[in-house]
Structure 1
């Protein structure tokens, strides 16, 4: 019985070391080093090559290295019967809350504007807004969405939330379903996307949705690049309907150097760093699920495949 780490573009050694320290005696392979495919029953994965896992006849579990699982579910050749898990980690959750708060504050205080002014040696004061006078809408009220909502509420923002199905979140005015989406958007002076990526949410940040936001609204996407129709965002900013955007995720990462986002004065770019998974923090739950798999016990943080998260 072995564990396979598959993480193209990421250094897997820290993960391997953390697993072996947490679970002495665990046999860990790192793809694509030589290994016996029939030994592997548990895979730890991030952006695996499409179709890879169909070559593992005894694979039982695929564990995501992060909170997202779309990079796994988007593979149409996954073996039948394999269970998929995601990471739920207090550190990731807290870090996401801090990041979104920083981007919201950056916007209402005009700090991105002053970076531009400094480069051009312009003394141009920005009329800032206060949290108490600002409505923030959060799309997605899962673990991360709830944490972000709580962080914003504690900093005196008026917080609204929207989810596919009805959810209750403390100190948030909640909306759900397609019928309540427009009312939610009308109250979102700053819109934060924290939705899981599914067939229903892909391309959801589009011109039709932006048009329902108040004029001068600001968009923050910390979910997935595939949520955003990039051309629609730029058109809505250039027309003046949107004030700008803060983007941490993109359809292609790293963002190509020729991409127009780089040069846009009203788009703030960060390289998918809103919350970074720390192996030493999440490996204990992964190792626990490995033991649960061996004992044929229910897994923690199991993904509901019909929902996609």
Structure 2
């Protein structure tokens, strides 16, 4: 019998507990899933940054921690956590992100905002290029970025991807490093940000990098709010160099009511819904990872502390 401590909110417990218990049983794990346990008897922790747990040192028998979030910037630097940490990269999160990104890329590509009969009944014909003639840049080629790149390539878009470390994705031009970033930006008629939040990626879209995008480029950020210098983006939108930005994540959430993004005519705000953790699919991954750990195998999607993700 293993003891699994659930360190998240009451809402998370209501959402995840039943699915976790069912998946533990399906994986052949005899597991006591609890929110009330002696830390010295806990084998694994299911964790969310919104919970109360900050100090992992009392959990002396701990073998692994599984986050319910894809982002780990709020835990990766916690020095009290000395066991493997797995982040959430399940099929529900992946498919949800693909659908969100493909939907908004197609919105920009097809010009959906302009291709509506105006109230004066003016018949304004606009024929967009084919996807094969549209370049899309994806900044970040981790599990989610790679999946989005493959989906867009399957629709015949010219896809360029950039990451800190060199990647290889069939049909996608994969770039890395500072020079690669410049080339990726210069190719980005539509830019999708799917980078993790690290000191190196904060403000990766700033005044200098935004200026390297083609005039009239569109931006989609379902990654992390601090990837964008907000003042620089607003200035680029006001000048017309950037045509539109769809933003799902922000430095402060919920986005404050007086933030300029709300009223800007060239900004679409979505409330951090690009791809949420879905209990049914997330529970399968958690159960599989704890089963692997019990069998002496490494958990999937473990975090590289030195890289920050």
Query: What TM-score, normalized to structure 2?
Result: 0.88
CA contact (8 A) 1:98 1:151 kept: no
> Does structure 1 residue 271 correspond to structure 2 residue 260?
no
Helix, strand or coil at the partner of 1:246: strand
> Does structure 1 residue 59 correspond to structure 2 residue 58?
no
Structure 1 unmatched runs, 5+ = none
Greater RCO (Cα-Cα under 8 Å, separation 6 or more): 2
- Aligned residue in 2 for 1:27: 32
CA contact (8 A) 2:261 2:267 kept: yes
Runs of 4+ in 1 over 6 A off after TM superposition: none
Helix, strand or coil at the partner of 2:251: coil
Q: CA deviation at 1:279?
A: 1.5
Helix, strand or coil at the partner of 2:56: helix
CA contact (8 A) 2:5 2:37 kept: no
CA contact (8 A) 1:51 1:78 kept: no
Q: CA deviation at 1:19?
A: 1.6
C-alpha deviations, 1:56-113, integer Å up to 9, x for none?
343332211133222321xx44425221002232232222122111101112333345
Residues 240 and 306 (structure 1 numbering): CA distance in 2 closer, same or farther, change over 3 Å? Answer: same
- Aligned residue in 1 for 2:174: 174
Residues 298 and 185 (structure 1 numbering): CA distance in 2 closer, same or farther, change over 3 Å? Answer: same
Helix, strand or coil at the partner of 1:2: strand
Query: 1:71-82 alignment to 2 at 5 Å?
Result: 71-73=74-76, 76-82=77-83
CA distance in 2, matches of 1:182, 1:259: 30
- Aligned residue in 2 for 1:213: 213
Residues 12 and 184 (structure 1 numbering): CA distance in 2 closer, same or farther, change over 3 Å? Answer: same
Query: 1:200-279 alignment to 2 at 5 Å?
Result: 200-279=200-279
Residues 122 and 161 (structure 1 numbering): CA distance in 2 closer, same or farther, change over 3 Å? Answer: farther
Q: CA deviation at 1:146?
A: 1.6
Query: What TM-score, normalized to structure 1?
Result: 0.88
- RMSD between superposed Cα atoms in Å: 2.4
Query: 1:26-175 alignment to 2 at 5 Å?
Result: 26-30=31-35, 34-47=36-49, 48-49=51-52, 51-73=54-76, 76-113=77-114, 121=119, 125=124, 127=126, 129-130=128-129, 131-175=131-175
Residues 238 and 166 (structure 1 numbering): CA distance in 2 closer, same or farther, change over 3 Å? Answer: same
Q: CA deviation at 1:142?
A: 1.7
Q: CA deviation at 1:128?
A: 5.2
Helix, strand or coil at the partner of 1:12: helix
CA distance in 2, matches of 1:263, 1:110: 21
CA distance in 2, matches of 1:139, 1:92: 18
Q: CA deviation at 1:223?
A: 0.8
Structure 2 unmatched runs, 5+ = none
CA contact (8 A) 1:185 1:212 kept: yes
